[in-house]
Structure 1
C-alpha cells in the first residue's frame, strides 16, 4: 500500500511539473498606478490569498550565501492560469542546495529531463527545488540545512548561467517561498491626499 501511495505521489508531482512547464508565464513587470512609487529594490508581490497560513521565518534559504532573486513569485489568477509558482534564485552550477526545513523527500528524480526534489514538511507544506542533481532519494528524512543536491545550469528564463527554481505549496495553494523566510512584500508609496 505504501508503494502504491509513493508511486501516486511521484505521478502527481510529475504531472504538476509538466503542467507548469507548458503553462505560459505572465510578464515579470507589474503596472503601478499613476502617482505611486515602488520602493527599490523590488521585493516579491504581496498576494494575500495564496499566502494564507504562511509563517514568516519558517523556512531557511536553500542556498548560501543568501542569493539574489532573479524572478519573483507571480500567483496565477486561476488554478491552471499563467504565473510563476515559485522564485528563481541566482546560483552557480554545482552549488549545494539545502533543505529549507525538516521533512521527508517525496520525489527525487527526473521530470522532463530536469532533476527535481520535492520535500513534504509538517503542516501540509511542500517545497520543490529544480533543476538539481539530487543527492537524496524518495523516502529520505531530511533536516533543515541538509544537502539535497547541487544546482544544474540551464534553467529557462534565468538571466545568469544557473538559477534554482524554489517553490512552495500549502495544501493545494501555491505560496511565495520568500514570505516563509521573512522577506517583506512589495512596498508601495502613495501620495498624500490634498486636504484643501
Structure 2
C-alpha cells in the first residue's frame, strides 16, 4: 500500500499542473502560442498528463480507503493552486523550450516539403504531354493530373515508398493507386499490377506496367495526386517530380548526332570493363537524395555533396529525373522517342555517369540552372557543350560527371 501511495502522489501533482498550465499560460503569455515549437511541446505535455491521469484514476481508488481518498482530494486541490504559481514562474522556461523545439518542428515541416520534390519518376526520361488543369468546381470538366509520354508495356515504378491502395478497373480503364508513407495517394492510368492490395514496396520499385487504352491520342500514363486524409483535392503532380513545366521537345527536332562518351565535350564514357547499360548494381551506389536512382560510386558521392550545397541555397535537394539507364530501359526509350533517343547501348546514361535534373534546373536562365552552371564543376559535374543553350541539342536538364573536382 505504501509503495502505491508514493506512485500516486507525483501522478496527482502532474495531473494538477496540467489542469492549470494551459489557462494560466494563455492569460499571462499569449504570445507563446505563436511560437512554432510551443504546440509540439504542449502536445508532449498533454500526452504525458493523460497517461498520468489514467494511471492515477485506476491505481488510487484501489489503493486507498475513502478516508485517505478525501485527504488526497484536499491535497490535490492544494497542488492545483500551487501548480498555477509554478506555471507562471515557468513561463520563461516554456518560452525558451519553445525556441529550442521550434527549429526541430520547422525542420520536420521543411523535410516534408523537400520530400515532395524528390519523388522518383514513375517512368524514365519523364516527359509531360499535358499539364495539370483542374476545374474550378469538382463537377466540371478539367485535367486532374498530368499525362506522361509512355509506350504500352513499359514498367511503372513507385515514386515513393508505400503500399498498393487499389488495382483494378475504373470506368473501364486499368488503374493502380498507391498510398505513400508520407500520406499521399498517387493514381496511374492505364496501368496494371500483379501486386496485392496492401502490399508494401520501396521507392523506385516496379509496381506495374503501362496498359493499353487511356484518353491520350498517343500512348501515355495519366498521373494524379491527392492527400490520403481529408477532402479529396487534386494536386499538381509535376512539382513532386521537380517538373513544374514540360521538358518535351518537338519530335521534329532531330539531333545532329548522338553524343557518346567518346566526345571530349562529354563526361560520360566506358569504365571498369563494363558494357553500356549492363553495369551490375554492385558496382554502383544509390543517391541519398533521390531514392531509386544510381550512379558510379564516386559520381554518387560528388552528386550528394553538390545536392547538399544546392539545398543550402534553395531549401530543397536537387530533383533527379533520371540517372543510370540499363539496356532494357534504353530499348523502351528508343521505342517511345524514336530518333530523339540514343541507340540502345550508346546512351550516356548507360555509363552511370549522366543524369537529367528538374526543379528549375531544367529551364535555361532560371536561378537554379545558373547555380548549377556556376557550382557544378566544383563537384566534378559539367553541362556538356552540346547540351547548352547554344549547343547542337539544347538540354538544360542533362548533366554529366567529369570527375575533376
Calculate the TM-score normalised by the size of structure 1: 0.61
Correspondence for 2:117 among 52, 57, 68: 57
User: For 1:1-196, what aligned pairs fall within 5 Å after superposition?
Assistant: 55=114, 56-64=116-124, 66-156=125-215, 158-160=216-218, 162-170=219-227, 171=229, 172-184=232-244
What SS does the aligned partner of 1:178 have?
A: helix
Q: Is the 8 Å Cα contact of residues 134 and 144 (structure 2) preserved in structure 1?
A: yes
CA distance in structure 2 between the partners assigned to 1:185 and 1:91 by the alignment = 18
Deviation string for 1:95-118 (max 9, x for gaps)?
100111001111011222221111
Counterparts of 1:175 and 1:169, CA distance in 2:
6
Higher alpha-carbon Rg: 2
Q: What SS is found at the alignment partner of 2:177?
A: strand
Where is the strand percentage greater, Structure 1 or Structure 2? 1
Shift, 1:141, TM fit = 0.4
The verdict on how the C-alpha distance between 1:54 and 1:76 changes in structure 2, with shifts beyond 3 A counting, is farther
Cα 1:159–1:143, aligned 2, differ >3 Å: closer, same or farther? same
Shift of 1:154: 2.3
CA RMSD in angstroms, aligned pairs only: 2.1
Cα distance, 1:90 vs structure 2: 0.8
Task: Tell me which protein shows more helix as a share of its residues.
Answer: 2
Does the 8 Å CA contact 1:54/1:179 hold for their aligned counterparts?
A: no
Give the Cα–Cα distance (whole angstroms) in 2 for the partners of residues 84 and 129 of structure 1.
Answer: 14
Q: Is the 8 A contact 2:173 2:214 kept in 1?
A: no
Q: How many angstroms apart in 2 are the aligned matches of 1:180 and 1:100?
A: 9
Counterpart-to-counterpart distance in 1, 2:113 and 2:234: 11
- Structure 1 stretches lacking a partner, 5+ long: 1-52, 188-196
Separation in 1, partners of 2:166, 2:244: 30
- Equivalents in 1 of 2:117, 2:168: separation in Å? 28
**How far 1:78 sits from its partner (Å)?**
1.7
Question: How far apart are 1:185 and its partner, in Å?
Answer: 5.1
Q: Which has the higher contact order (CA 8 A, sep 6+)?
A: 1
Q: How many residues align?
A: 132
Relative distance call for 1:111 and 1:86 in structure 2 (3 A) is same
TM-score by length of 2: 0.31
* 1:125 to partner: Cα distance: 1.0
**Partner of 1:43 in structure 2?**
none
Q: Distance in 1 between matches of 2:182 and 2:136?
A: 24
